[in-house]
Structure 1
Amino acid sequence: MRPQAALSSAPGAGGIEISCLPWPAAWLDPDGTIRAMNEPMRTALGQAASVGGNLAEGLQNGDGSRLILALSRLMDGSPSALEVQTADGNARNFIATLARPVPEPRDAPLLLQLSEITELRRQLHDVQERESRWNHALVSSISGVWDQRSSGELYYSDVWRQIRGLGPDDTYPPTTEEWLKIVHPQDRERVLHCIERQNAGDPDYTVFQYRELHRDGHYAWIECRGACVERDADGKPTRIVGTDTDITARKAQEEWLEGLSRRLKLAVDISGIGIFETDFEVGRSEWDEGMRRIFEVEADHDIQLGGFWESKLHPDDRSRTLANVAAKIAELKPFTDNYRIIAKDGSIRYIRSNSLPYVDQDGKLKMIGVNWDVTEDQRLRQELETQKTIAETRSTEMEKTRLAAEHSALHDYLTGLPNRRYLEAKLDEWRAGKGNLGSGIAILHIDLDRFKQINDTLGHGAGDAMLSIAARILRDNIRLTDFAARIGGDEFVVLIDHDGATPALAAIASRIIAQMRQPAFYNGQECRFGASIGIAHTLVRDIDPKQLLQNADIALYKAKHLGRNRYEFYAQASRTMLADASRLSSELMRALENNEIFPYYQLQFDARTREVVGAECLARWRHPIRGILGPDKFLATAEEYGILAQIDGLILEKALLDLEAWRAEGIAPPKISVNVSARRLTDPELARGLSDLDIKPGTVSFELLESVFLDRQDAAVMGNLDMLRRLEIDVEIDDFGTGHASIVGLLNLKPTTLKIDRQLIEHIPESQEQRILVKSIIQIARSLGIKVTAEGVETEEHARILGRLGCDVLQGYGLAWPAGFAEATQLLNKHKKSAPA
């Protein structure tokens, strides 16, 4: 033992004693043989190493070769890390240094000293693991790290930059002021407050959210977590560290869920349902406001199982309902139930419920469901069942009602004829080859003439009576296989089975027109109307019924345009005429804008003295291409398009200017007369318009068509007539003798003058009957204090006879042709010179 002990404690070649060293030390030969070692070295190396043995041979798992390599590297005296796998299986880490005493030879023993760093290496490894773990966690959580120091040093992680669409080298606003520019305007003030509170260490502001402008232009929602980790001696923050997380997707989801929640709440509120959730383990139910409203229970009432709900059940439903609920809960199946409850006022309420029993994640048995009050539904259902019972006992009456409803839907309520809907169905039926109409078909489109005047003057009752008469005439003049319909207003359509013989169609149309021209009576008053008919026909079904109807409508337009009370067959030229009429209306509107409408004057003469006593103003159109056009070329179109009243007003204004010019020359006729349309006479603004004109009393007369006035006048018309009398504007009845006014009508109207129509004047020289008729009209007028003017005076013989019969005023081509202002001025000058002094 001594030699060994001596070796262990003896100094080496350098004379250094190692037994008293506190750290592991050993004397080694250059080949690794242990010459001596102290106890710390023995403890460090374990039982595998001993004095006299080789240090490399005592190590396992390749540590020996690594030790020799380490020894060769340590020969220069530099320290090196050394991990030793000892015989006891433990890995120990050391910092090893070799020293050669100087000036010993190179084969002298080496001093090996170890400083154990096993615990230090373990702690370093733990730190590295923690750092790696946190780094991976932050990356996987897509959270960006930021670190801000009061010195101005800033750190932003790659993820932090990615959240904002920034690359590694992209710049970021360096100051708070510039950074706020990319914060959403609605968040800026709140963000500054949150940062201030976060820096102050307020725990309520450790986390806050805001919107920041992303590099691609949209606003990204960011959740900022941060805290002050270092402060200076004054408590001011010197270092703030935190993370930013992009929560844009989460915000979108929250917004969607919030919208869904709102919609669900709205649906629940509107539906009136109540929602409950029952926990069978705790024996209690949670009821929302709807449930409490249905069952009339206060908000603070605790709903215990086996208590309140069960007590509300109707006695006759309680056992069945409870048994059904228990069975469904045992099966864990959703179910629907209907039961009754007793309300506080003693009434019975009907309840329907949908329930879902389930076991939650903690293994607890629960049930959710909805209830709603279906009392009103039950009442309605019972009422419907009652009505059904009544209906079953009255099936015959119901069938009659159904047939009547179908008839009403397809027929005109006034005339009983089929309506437009029925007509369209009939045409579709014909097109499909069904029904009793053959492949050949004719359409007669019928429009009543003068119906509006009857309706306006005698009232809607008279108009309805005329429509019924027209419907009867149509029924009487068609076969059972034909079809007649009223399609609206005063329009009718007749479908006739057509074999190609147009004379037969013409005969039917003529017969209808002739019968509709016959006098009709309403409340003892005679009414006269007529009919215009457009006819279109085909022998094949290969045509659109709508086109065929349009063709008949075009033919009807032509019939009305050519004088009414007639029929016309459709021809391509009729379509051209319709286009011409449309073009004429456009030109007429332009004529009014371009001042192309002006008056012509036909002088009127005293029947005894032949002095000029007046002038009728006649409308003319100075067409830029067709020259001067008479009223027969455009007045019908003007009336159809509703501008005749405008033309009447324009002629009056221009005539008043001409009359003023004639007064300046001393040749003005005592009076001028202008035509006025029925529409203008119903205008409530007529009085205002006339009051704006400089009309001298007694110098103007309005000529009204006799056909416009029957025995009853519209209140607006009578009001305007009274206004004309107050303005001392005379009223004349034009074309008297061709209409149907009675003596009572004349008394109501109180005209100043009657103008006998030229048709009654034309044959006076050779017709005794016409002379008697004219004489009678003159006598009636005189008895009523009304003057008489004769139109159509073509010859001196006409003038002589009319003077003898007592006529007051003469007008006609035999005395003076209509003329413009310049020619009329010459005629007035001529008559002034020839007049006796």
Structure 2
Amino acid sequence: MQNKPDPAVGPSDNARDVSPSADGSRSEAELVERESRWNFALVGSGLGVWDHNLKHGTRYYSETWKTMRGMAPDEEADGDFESWLSLIHPDDRDFVVKAIDHQNAGDPDYQVFEYRERHRDGRWIWIECRGACVEWNEDGSPARLVGTDYDITARKEAEEHLAHMSRRLDLALDISSIGVFEADIEAGTVEWDSRLMAIYGIHIGSPKVANDVWTDALHPDDRERVLTTINDSVAQNRSFQHEFRIIRGDGVERVIRAKGGFFLDGTGRRKLIGANWDVTDEVLLNSELQRAKTLAEARNQELEAAKESIEHLALHDYLTGLPNRRYLDRMLDQYAAKCISSDLTLAVLHIDLDRFKQINDTLGHRAGDAMLMHAAKVLKANVRADDFVARIGGDEFVVLCTIDVTPRKIGNLAQRIIHELCRPIRYENHDCRFGASIGIATGSGEALDAKQLLLNADIALYRAKSGGRNRREFFSTDARRRIIASKRLADDILRGLERGEFIPFYQPQFHARTLNIAGVETLARWQHPEFGLLAPDKFLAIAEDINVVAAIDGLILEQALADRREWAAQGITVPKIAVNVSSKRLDDPTLGKKLRALKIEPGTVAFELLESISLDDCDAAVTANLRQLRKLGIDIEIDDFGTGHASIVSLLKLSPRTLKIDRQLIKMLPSSSEQRKLVRSIIDIGRSLDILVTAEGVETNDHVRILGDLGCDVLQGYALARPMPAQQIPAFIRSSSWRNADTGARALQSTLQGSIAAKGGK
């Protein structure tokens, strides 16, 4: 360093010659050797020597002093105080001036001080300055100052690095709330840092803590386990990690996690250093997470169980527990694949319970459910374990069979099922009897199509039911062709309804006495785009199967009303139009509303009811609709009377306007006196009940004459007119062609008119 500029004298590289004189002074030689030794020691120690002789105004700076500042060894240091002071770090400058003053004054507190000085290469170096006054003037002021400078930059950097590491460690410990302890194993002492004390909730001024403070803090239930762990670790010189509970000084229970390890200090003493941190919140969180996990696993199990239950419900019938249609669709492909790969035959049995609806309707749905469950048990009991039984809806079941299936075995199985299902079942003091119709289809080989087999079994079932029920039928290609034709016809009927292909034809009806027009019967015809004009016998059965007869009846009635209005506009009066009505239409609860919307003129329309559907077993809906018809002024006629089972009582109850004698009774009139007596009896019954009688099937002049003699009221048949389209009615009526002499009708009319005149015009 440099002191304030005062002259100084001291040893230098140009010091006086102290080599031994000629006289060989031993003391002087020793002095030279001693000085050389000290010079080497100072150079080796890295100390730069400075010597300020204030009395003589000389300054000395050693080569090491210059080198540590980046100066050349032979460079002269001018010793200017202000110039040197400008090299001091600005933050240290005032301190250095103060320290030099105190050092010059002999203040022992400033014999050593540190500061930063600018190196020749521009960096800052740390200097440790040691100095003292070695000579004083008579007035007590310093006369000579000698000292050393030492470059402590590396030490300072190490200290700063250590301090940085310490700060970072302290920060990390603070952030993580980790407390540290150090134990002297041999001395039995332990030191805690402030963080550890805070964790345990204790307040001790000294970091030295008695061992029993920690032992007493341990939770009683954990103490033995923890002490055993510590003792074992100490005995085996092995690091440890464990978790335990403590009771803090404030009585709060906390969970502590501890880690520790052993080391030897610089004196060779064995010590233990460790860390504790509070993991109560973590343990609580883990406990909560574990509880949540356990709960989630339980819920997952519940969900899995619910999923399985839902899947089971989705694939099984709720009532019988059998697989349902959805499950059957899955199994069809599996069974087919099994048969193809194993060269087996697949048989499909489609089973429909007979008379089940009657049991359900008469004894209630509970009885019906009991029958279905019984049927399921019978099916399961009569098939093999590998066979598949499903309820596909209502009272229908399907059985899939594989392995060595032959038509005979399958037929025997079906017959056994029918036999078992026909046995009476006791239900609430009732003997319930039902049967089964079964359709069977089989297939094998690479071309096996299970879904087609199911369709084929359905076709065979249709044949079994239409063939008398309680029987089995195997699928045949002929039956399939008939079913396909029926299906095509059904599709055509539906399209025909949409396109208005169903049209009315009209067969005129005549008063038997005058042969005047009494009305027309409306007959449905289908103008098929491919097959031409079709009568009801070509489509009625299929229309009933697809439940559209009522729709056809409705369309025909609407068109007939429109045609009658058109005839009236042309000056042609048709007193009444009669239309057929099906049992389905009579069951329609909205029939009255629909008819009121047509604004029918009372007395101009008659509904023809088949004797078999309209008399003895009328239900409430039919009875209500018949009352509606009478209120609307629509007459009721009984069609095909004489071939059914109607009683006189039912006629009285129904009170029809007209009876139509079936053509089978009219046909033999000319050749059978017995037939004439029967027809006369029907006419007499009608007259006695004030009911008009119409004869159908009037095909010859003899029929016209005989029925007139028998007192019949209205005639209808080919002898007078055939059915014709609406546009032909006006011309036909204007022409009165049915009265031509060549038909015998004119002569018959004259005879009848003469007979009326002879009786006084009655």
Per residue, is there more helix in 1 or in 2? 2
Higher RCO (C-alpha under 8 Å, 6+ residues apart): 2
Question: TM-score under structure 2 normalisation?
Answer: 0.48
